Amino acid sequence: MQTADVVIIGAGIVGSSIAYHLTAQGCRNVLVIERESAQGKGSTGKSMGGVRAQFSTPVSIQMSLYSIPFYASFEERLGSPCDYRPQGYLFCATNEKQLAYLQTNYAEQVRLGLKNVGLLAGDEIARMFPQLRGDDIIGGSFCSTDGFVDPYSAMNGFTAAATDRGATLWKHTPVTGIKRDAAGITSIETARGTISTRRLVNCAGAWAAEVAGFVGIDLPVEPLRRMLVPSEPFDEFPHTAPMIIDMSNGFHFRPEARGFLLAWNDPEETPGFKTDFDPGFIEKILTRAADRVPCFANLPVNPKRAWAGLYEMTPDHHPILGEAPGVPGFFLANGFSGHGVMHAPATGKILSDLILTGKTDLIDVSLLSLSRFAENRLIHETAVL
């Protein structure tokens, strides 16, 4: 029977980052198992690639404070690019409550050491982007080191660096079962046979609850469809723009290639494994786009290029990280609630620390343990895009 020191289920950006961080810390007998014929077919390949430190909770901010500088130095560290573009995130507030929320978040971000973040007055935003309808924008916040990465390049870079250091990737190999004894995990069942291991990491994204169910764990991670609409080439708005968020309704967009990528989280969406793009979404999002950016009334879009993917939602919109209570050797890296690309570097560091040394100093990981739900210690993050 084949043996691995650590087995990782799922080769998206999170599994790849954990594999990289493990090998970088000297643990080389790592096996990453992916059921699809190629990496990135889960949420990673569907992502908008946004990375930001402008969160409200300390733990999310701290994870970004590790991840964004990591992406900024990705090529130096790993030898391949991730296309980090520090074009910023600009939050536009349209009422006093939103503005107070940004001010509170700003104070917390600065307290934790975030630089390059600032509050803006409504007229400053109007001067920066006269193309925005600004009559109701009363202020905002901007961080210039927020921006975008290419999730595919980051995932592939992590995998290449991990395999160079000794890790192995198996594609086309569904994991179908997990075995345990009184001491914890003993082996897993796969389409290629049984693998013996004492340490296993669940990185199965929106499908993580099914994998946790193999050991009888009820994991509160639900799939939720999100849709993105790319435009055709369009030059009436600057391509140097940041991610711009209209806080009045959650519509946001960023430059992509020679056009723009539009996003809006439809509050009517219900949980489920739905990955078909709903053509009715185009009108809904274009209405909001043209309302905030009048020149987007002329924005050409081809519905055939639009797509849908899955967020992996937890009840408090924070990930579940660490060893599962009652199952020694079974580690969870799940439930990123739409932030898995931006928090993948920190997750790799945290999980590799926990697996190899039993502790991490990057965050207080007890805040993100699975037991917080049973113990009613939920964290509230309202800055979910």
Ligand X SMILES: Cc1cc2nc3c(=O)[nH]c(=O)nc-3n(C[C@H](O)[C@H](O)[C@H](O)COP(=O)(O)OP(=O)(O)OC[C@H]3O[C@@H](n4cnc5c(N)ncnc54)[C@H](O)[C@@H]3O)c2cc1C
Binding site for ligand X (CB under 6 A): 9-15, 33-36, 41-44, 46-50, 174-175, 203-207, 211, 226, 228, 309-311, 336, 338-342
**Residue with Cβ nearer ligand X (139 or 151):** 151
For residue 229, the minimal CB distance to ligand X (Å) is 10
Query: CA 31, 34, 37: angle at the middle one, nearest 5?
Result: 130
**Residue with Cβ nearer ligand X (32 or 92):** 32
Q: For 232, which DSSP code?
A: P
**Residue with Cβ nearer ligand X (204 or 219):** 204
**Residue with Cβ nearer ligand X (190 or 360):** 190
For residue 127, the minimal CB distance to ligand X (Å) is 27
For residue 342, the minimal CB distance to ligand X (Å) is 4
365 three-state secondary structure: helix
Those residues with Cβ within 8 angstroms of residue 227's Cβ, 6 or more apart along the chain or in another chain: 263, 266, 277, 278, 281, 285, 306, 307, 308
For residue 113, the minimal CB distance to ligand X (Å) is 20
- DSSP element (H, E) containing 102: helix 96-111
For residue 123, the minimal CB distance to ligand X (Å) is 29
The answer to whether 140 touches 123, Cβ cutoff 8 Å, is: no
CA–CA distance, 200 with 181 (Å, rounded to integer): 14
For residue 71, the minimal CB distance to ligand X (Å) is 11
**Residue with Cβ nearer ligand X (99 or 169):** 169
The CB density around residue 326, as the number of other CB atoms within 10 Å, is 12
Query: CA 37, 38, 43: angle at the middle one, nearest 5?
Result: 115
**Residue with Cβ nearer ligand X (174 or 326):** 174
